[in-house]
Structure 1
């Protein structure tokens, strides 16, 4: 049997949540559980109702995306965990492609490019990603910002036991923070060059509404790990063998 994958969907007042859940349930991969974590919503919760018999629903007080993700991961029974934002979509073959890739590469974590869509689902841009030749260049990129879209990531649940959960003190850069901790633990972050999700760009998205705060939090998060990351890049560059992504 293929290993179970837990898809965690954190939800807070998002009108697209039904589409996200439907895309998770439409996976061609045969062994999936879908966990919807309602982070204290007071709008659009009725959109979840049609899916209650096919998902695990968790209601909790509002604590932010990192809190909702951690809640879902703690409840997950899968060997692998995938994060799907409530306004984004998984392509039907996402897990059927990404899980075998991870098994073949013995990867604890991997990410992919993504397609960008608008509020109506129309394609704006396809296969968006910064493609790095090796781990050293990926790690170097963290000194500038986060080049990984969190919803493209699939990771083994055991990874959280090694590097810790998402930092709930961070409202926006909890994923960036986790990737840097993974890198500093010496764990390769693998790249599968196939777009497997659709990232929705719309007027109410947090990336636009809170852009100034996100920039400040990104700066402080980067500063926390900057010295360690620079040292790690030097060690990778001194190695006679730089592992590919």
Structure 2
């Protein structure tokens, strides 16, 4: 029986410190039937030469370069356009997968007759030290819950291409993943995560996660552009978002 083919979408930009470890975490998967499509957004460090070395030695790694710096959204959408897998998964150039990530998720999808899933994940700092923090999610995630807070870690999401098609990725520079999950949940209404940690999310000093002001700004933009809400409605919805972000979501962050 042929195992499901997975397309791994990876944008890169000045990721020389992390990209090799990220690629190795894909190569170390127990599920080996995958392609990793890396699209570089005009890096000025050694990212390109590192990825090219891996691509030369592993034909499953496909490498492309953008002609001008355009943001992660364009890089992801470019990678998606090249994808040939049965499933689409996402792994940014500084994050890591545990070896059983794909195998467990594909089995979970089969067992639950589902077309989309995600998982819990753990946090590491910029140099890879574990922060003893696991980010979980509701056992059943509804569209309404996702509307007020993105519970899906981008590095954990995987969906069936033949069911959803290739879901367009926003060209905005931030929060593209949240819009993908919203598109999915709008169709299927509810989703379940694999209830264990299958990945490591790297918190970098200059990341969006490190700036709460930027988080508010970009989330407001999602309500305005993706949901088509007017300014006043978006401001009102932001109250619900803040409540969820400050009161509800922390309940799903566990010390380990």
TM class by smaller structure: 0.7 to 0.9
Q: Note if 1:186 corresponds to 2:192.
A: no
1:139 alignment counterpart: 143
Aligned residues of 1:73 and 1:157 also touching (Cα < 8 A):
no
Alignment of 1:1-245 (within 5 A): 1-14=2-15, 15-45=17-47, 46-53=49-56, 54=58, 55-61=61-67, 62-132=69-139, 134-135=140-141, 138-161=142-165, 164-168=167-171, 170-208=172-210, 211-223=212-224, 224-225=226-227
Per-residue Cα deviation, 1:153-206 (whole angstroms, up to 9, x for no partner) = 0111235537x41111x2111111222222222354231101110001122334
The answer for unaligned runs of 5 or more in structure 1 is 231-245
> How far did 1:126 drift?
4.0
C-alpha distance in structure 2 between counterparts of 1:189 and 1:108, whole Å: 9
> How far did 1:65 drift?
1.2
Aligned residues of 1:12 and 1:40 also touching (Cα < 8 A):
yes
Equivalenced residue count is: 222
C-alpha distance in structure 1 between counterparts of 2:45 and 2:9, whole Å: 20
TM-score by length of 2: 0.79
The answer for unaligned runs of 5 or more in structure 2 is 238-256
The runs of at least 4 aligned residues of structure 1 exceeding 6 Å deviation read: none
Aligned residues of 2:169 and 2:176 also touching (Cα < 8 A):
yes
C-alpha distance in structure 1 between counterparts of 2:191 and 2:182, whole Å: 10
Per-residue Cα deviation, 1:15-73 (whole angstroms, up to 9, x for no partner) = 21111111111111131111111122112323223302211111113221121111111
Aligned residues of 1:127 and 1:194 also touching (Cα < 8 A):
no
> Cα distance 1:39–1:81, how it changes in 2: closer, same or farther (>3 A)?
same
Aligned residues of 1:152 and 1:196 also touching (Cα < 8 A):
yes
C-alpha distance in structure 2 between counterparts of 1:122 and 1:98, whole Å: 25
Q: CA RMSD in A?
A: 2.2
Aligned residues of 2:143 and 2:189 also touching (Cα < 8 A):
no
TM-score by length of 1: 0.82
